[in-house]
Amino acid sequence: MQRRILYVSFLVILVISFSSMAFGQSPSKVPRKARELQLEELRASINSAAKEPARAFKTKEGYLRFIGAPPTTHFAVEPSKRGIAREAASAFLQKWRNLFVKDNPAVEFSVNRINTHESRSYVRYRQMYAGLPIRSAEIIVQVNSQGGIEVVVSDIMCFFRLQILGKVV
């Protein structure tokens, strides 16, 4: 009996551990081609004529892991959101969310912390799934002193599927 309880406990801990890393999401409602068009729109939002294009790195599924504006430029943010770094970062993520993560109402982002160094602020978001924090799944948004977005680094979990009792979550 004790052995069975130990086995079940181990199995539950194992499932919980993997679920924190691998909360899946439903198939994307935004096709890859539509995300490519959105990415081009984001690149076009750079505040001035840049000498080089924005740098972007994507996953094999086509979601952004990194995007950075060229030196001395930034991605535009709504003028009403430029004053506070947190508001600028949140407005940016809300507008371009589909470039970073699959469209799923259970996936949310909560501000974990904000650091300011010299003229830049770094807003760190934690991914939440159905109200639960996902460990090591974060987005960091770098906001300059004008309220423009310079860099976004994403380490969001959105490509794994976890099956529990026959149900894909």
Using DSSP's 3-state secondary structure scheme, residue 132 falls into: strand
Looking at residue 147, its pLDDT comes to: 86
Q: Which spans in the chain are helix H?
A: 2-22, 32-44, 85-100
Tell whether the model's pLDDT for residue 12 goes beyond 60. no
Cα 32 from chain centre:
17
Closest CA to 102 of 140, 64, 67: 64
User: CA torsion sign, 90 to 169 to 153 to 138?
Assistant: positive
pLDDT tens-digit series, residues 61-115:
888 999 999 988 999 887 666 668 899 999 999 999 999 988 888 888 999 899 9
Q: How many domains does the chain have?
A: 1
- Amino acid identity of residue 148, one-letter, is G
Percent of the chain exceeding pLDDT 90 equals 30
Q: Which domain holds residue 108?
A: 2-168
Looking at residue 162, its pLDDT comes to: 46
For residues 111 and 152, give the distance between their C-alpha atoms in angstroms, rounded to a whole number.
14
51 falls in which pLDDT band (50, 70, 90)? confident
Q: Which DSSP symbol is given to 81?
A: G
For residues 123 and 141, give the distance between their C-alpha atoms in angstroms, rounded to a whole number.
5
Looking at residue 160, its pLDDT comes to: 45
Looking at residue 5, its pLDDT comes to: 61
CB 162 within 8 A of CB 169: yes
Average pLDDT, the chain: 78
pLDDT tens-digit series, residues 123-165:
999 998 888 888 888 999 999 988 889 999 998 865 444 444 4
Looking at residue 113, its pLDDT comes to: 92
Looking at residue 2, its pLDDT comes to: 62
Residue given tokens 């860099």 in the structure block:
151
